[in-house]
Amino acid sequence: MKKIASLLFACFLVACSGEKTYEPEDINPDIDVCVVCNMSIVAEQYATEAILKDGTVHKFDDIGCMIEWMRKQNNDDIAKLYVRDVTNGEWVELEKAVYAYHPDYWTPMNYGVVSFANEQHAKAYMEQEGEGQLWTYEQLKQHRWGFER
């Protein structure tokens, strides 16, 4: 009985801490559109999301659209930024992801940047494509964004 009471008390403390979690939402290709380019998000493995501190979720069809949106925002309002590992659709925080870049990589808006949960996935993708550069988040921030094709 003491274990149950302790567990309930611990759950109560966590619930009362007021700490919000900001988790990505599922993409619904039938209704979700990119807030920048207004295109339907049908290639879900390339989708990205920005979650504001008030809980608002902005969805993008390409990482380049999200970066463009971020440059126009008050970054103090942003709680979390997510990209997807294109190999398995897993959501990954923008800053923790690994990226592959090549101007000939296909992405919904032709930015040529593809995201991954880890370096192994990125290297396998680059090997399959026969070209590309492995990037970190810091390199991604330095990229001169624009349509690559």
Q: What residues contact residue 64 under an 8 Å CB cut-off, 6+ apart?
A: 107, 109, 111, 113, 145
What percent of the chain shows pLDDT beyond 70? Answer: 85
Checking if the pLDDT of 2 tops 70, the result is no
- At residue 18, the pLDDT reads 60
Whether the full predicted model's pTM is greater than 0.85, yes or no, is no
What is the CB neighbour count within 10 angstroms for residue 106? 11
Q: Are 88 and 122 in contact (CB under 8 A)?
A: no
- At residue 147, the pLDDT reads 56
Q: Residue 80 — φ and ψ, nearest 5°?
A: -145, 150
pLDDT in tens, 119-149: 999 999 999 999 999 999 998 888 887 654 4
- 68-87 b/e (C-beta count within 10 Å ≥ 16 → b): bbbeeeeeeebebbbbbbbb
